Amino acid sequence: MDAWTGHDVPTLPGAAVAPRLFDSARRAPAPSAPDGVATMYVCGITPYDATHLGHAATMITFDLINRLWRDAGLEVRYVQNVTDIDDPLLERAERDGEDWIVLGMRETALFREDMEALRIIPPQHYVGAVESIPAIAGHVRELLAAGAAYTLDDGTGDVYFAVSAAPSFGYESNLPREQMTVLSAERGGDPERAGKRDPLDPLLWRGARDGEPAWDGGELGPGRPGWHIECATIALGLLGDTIDVQGGGNDLIYPHHECSAAHAEVLTGAAPFAGHYVHAGMIGLAGEKMSKSKGNLVFVSRLRADGVDPMAVRLGLLSGHYRADREWTDDVLKAGQERLARWRAAAAAPIGPSGEGLLAAVRESLGNDLDTPAVLCWASSSDPGSRWSVVLLGIKL
Ligand code: 5CA
Ligand code: ZN
């Protein structure tokens, strides 16, 4: 499917290096993207509701990585998915008496508008689960043929991945098994399901059910894809056997990124699937993670309709560190609006010699696991170098 429209990103003077990024697997920061090309796969939306500030914060985080890699002279290959078929989409469509395809298309269109307004550089490939079904089904058949997957014998046609087939399973999240079991139940898995070899085995292919959409799976029979194999397949098809960054919010550390990595590694034999597993913190409202299922959402489109400048939203979200779970409050927005106004007022001044020194300092901070709070402190209204810094931050004055 089509992504959104991009914009020119100016080249800045001087030299930069690729950022050090915290990797969930290593549990430490490490240099990213060692050679000329940098590859990134970011887990995008399940389009059953509008883009909220949590999605925006996560997309801004990976946009920053994209900008820093470009600033370091790397060619960036960036892929993002849309989970345009999954249980939550069908459930919401059913609740509202709406066609799931129409719902998904409408919310995806709104997401594109929001991304453009927030000045997120578009991915080269923006890919839906539905359009990837033939490739996904092919991978599921390969996993079955390799003995890394099995079909439940309860007549449903459901196919599961055997986590025992992935020798390093658990390396990405570093979680104890009990916690994996709890998270799996909370995040779309089914550890209690009878007939599985291991409670942690994730679904690869859901056999067709009455009233649910289904696609031809060849010898799998009709059905629809599981969630983790969707992302593994899209990334492998467009970026190769291994990637530099696998990204998303920290709600995806387990089971999603653990299982996608396990699928990819068993399919290709190359490990680790991602050089860095990078996770953005959860944006909350009044003490709770902002989520479509909880309904405690602040929508980007609502703020835009209310006349809020998307650059103030971007600055507000950048004022906290990307890895920190943090709250969105009226004060965060107000501070973003005030900072934007100060920067705009200062932008009229010419860039003097001090500008290059500031740019080097900003690069160093952002290169240190995206330390945006430090940068926002320095890029003060009075320093003309802030005009270069804002390019790196993706702010348009
Ligand atoms: N389609 C899947 C990923 S393959 C999905 O998680 N969709 S989502 O719509 O729930 O989330 C889209 C992206 O936003 C994911 O990277 C997710 O981790 C991130 N995200 C969701 N809620 C929040 C939040 N409250 N704060 C920060 N990021 C969030
Ligand atoms: Zn994903």
Percent of the chain residues topping a pLDDT of 70: 96
Whether 58 is in the pocket of ligand 1, judged by its Cβ within 6 Å, is yes
Tokens 């609740």 label which residue?
95
Helix H or strand E segment including 105: helix 100-117
Closest ligand 1 atom, residue 47 Cα: 9
pLDDT tens digits, residue range 216-251?
999 999 999 999 999 999 999 999 999 999 999 999
Q: pLDDT value at position 383? A: 59
Distances (CA, A) of 247 to 62, 66, 290: 7, 12, 18
Q: pLDDT value at position 352? A: 65
User: What type of residue is 98?
Assistant: E
The structure's pTM equals 0.97
Q: What is the CA radius of gyration of the chain?
A: 22
How many angstroms is it from 361 CA to the middle of ligand 2?
A: 34
How many of the other CB atoms lie within 10 Å of CB of 237? 16
DSSP code of residue 13: S
The lowest-confidence range among 26-30, 234-238, 327-331 is 327-331
Mean pLDDT throughout 125-146? 98
User: What type of residue is 248?
Assistant: G
CB neighbour list of residue 155: distance below 8 Å, 6 or more residues apart: none
Q: pLDDT value at position 380? A: 59
* Residue nearest atom 22 of ligand 1, based on CA coordinates: 54
Greater model confidence, 266 or 15: 266
Whether 43 is in the pocket of ligand 1, judged by its Cβ within 6 Å, is yes
> Chain-wide mean pLDDT for the chain?
94
Mean pLDDT throughout 144-155? 98
Asked whether the predicted pLDDT for residue 73 surpasses 90, the reply is yes
Asked whether the predicted pLDDT for residue 99 surpasses 60, the reply is yes
pLDDT tens digits, residue range 377-388?
776 555 555 677
**123, 122, 118, 120: which is closest to 315 by C-alpha?**
118
Whether 187 is in the pocket of ligand 1, judged by its Cβ within 6 Å, is no
**β partners of residue 21:** 30
